[in-house]
Structure 1
Amino acid sequence: MSAPGRRGEGHPATRVAAMKPLLLTAALLTCTALLPPTATAEAASATEGASVNMVDIAVSPAGFTAPDRLTAGVVTFRVSSTDPDGAWLGLVRPRPGVTLEQYLGDLERAMGADPVGGGQAVARDVEMLGGVAVAHVPASATLPVAPGSYYLVDFRDVGKPDLASRVRPVRVAPGRASTDVRAESTVVALDGRYLTPGVLRGPVRFVNLSPQANEAMLMPVRPGATLTDLDAFFAHRAPAPFTGGPTGVVPLSQGRSAVLAHGLPAGRYALVTWVTDVRTGKMFAAGGMRALVTVED
């Protein structure tokens, strides 16, 4: 590959590059303004006070254990997994009158034969607060949690006959926690695309402003992989360009955010979602919701 030629400060490409941080800042301010009032109110009430709650969860092929009680505020779920399939651990809050059996039935439809109807039902069933996906590297997700009744679900367990027994109920009591959650990079999910810097440094804040629940997964790619390779894979025309499993933020409802911290090696990664658009039944990634980014230490 030839080195790019040098450009003077007046070159249009140079001016565009200089504007990118300003454009990203403006977009993030817009994100805050667009958050639903319930989400912003919960985030504000859940993030006043002293400290972040830390929850350590170890996942094995047999399942996972987790506290059945937490204090409201900012909660960090630190997850590691010895399961070869990794773990996709998420926190959900059932809506009034929704039973666990109803939600799990709809979740299996959404992740199986009926992604549109099942996905729409899941959106009616629960509020998705997000969580963390891990492969071979531990990671954590930090998110605001209001008082109430919740379930912790490993989405990798969907389809197993003992799914209900693997889910962990969690009661969150009123409390106070810190707003000081550091993030050095920000990724925003919009409708059908990501707004992301080309380089992700340190903890990454994921903000979901797409029209439904969505996620952000980082997957290492082989050297030289391109967006064309990603598109060919999601169109079922080419082998996977990935060299490892996903690490990232599992689906969270529109208007919510979470901060991902990880120990991923520096390198080139695909930023993807495996979520289906419940309007069309097509995966967002197959419609172009993907990016290539560099992760730095």
Structure 2
Amino acid sequence: MPDYLAFDPHPRAPVPLPPALACDSQFHVFGPREQYPVRPDAAYEMPSATWQVAQKLHATLGIGRGVIVQATTYGADHAVVLDALEGLNAGGPRRYMACANAVVLTERDDAYIQKLHDAGVRGARLTRGSLGIRLSAAGQERIFARVKELGWYLKVQPEPTGIAGQLPAIESLDMPVLIDHMGRADPARGAADPSLARILELFGRGNFWVMLSLSEKLSKIGAPWDDVVPLAQRLIDIAPDRCVWASDWPHPVSVQQPPNEGALLELLYRFAPDAATRQKILVDNPARLFGFDSA
């Protein structure tokens, strides 16, 4: 397993703080191997990135809600997510929900899936094949059907080359579909990037969403990631009601030092300079997509 760089251990608060009930729409949690066994072919692990550390991070950032996304590290075994949901939601209203790895819908029985649903899982993520979980066409079709039965959303992680090549399999789906990491569009290509062009087309269907995240890896010029701003603004301009933001903490498979989360929120403020749009991206949109209001 390669060595990757760890998250910044000293997050700072953004200026200004985000609105109340702002949501981090994707972060991952891990734990010690003896408690949470790692898949034999896992691409990475980060046992220091526990839900307790994430809780402190969100308190510093002023984040009031979050979505735990199952790491490929654990495959279909969602014990770390279930424990995190229990801990983060203890003693109050449900402010944390989760997204499963889609492979669980092909490997576990209905009772286990119901357990995930009852705990606050409302989505299933198709992860990129290079991280070790590959699905057959039949497996994907089973996942699509099961996601629809459950009333969940489908989440799609783009390949490093961009999401354009993955879209033929999902573009006709009639369920909410969340595209991660701005589709990994290339900011240097601007409007000519095929992944960006396809996302903008799919926005017209009404059920496609995009996650504003991974700016530090999409950027070709580095911090403060100026080249990513026009890309994000284009997505927001076309579909301000279907964009959400995520830290992607603890920034898995990072070969360069991950950014400070306070700086990432301040980058979002550059994407969306007006308070009304930030309210949509950070509060209203995730509440609607993930089901916080109904929870």
Q: With structure 2 as the length reference, what TM-score do the two structures score?
A: 0.25
More strand by share: 1
Structure number, greater radius of gyration: 1
Higher RCO (CA 8 Å, separation ≥ 6 residues): 2
> TM-score of the superposition, structure 1-length normalised?
0.24
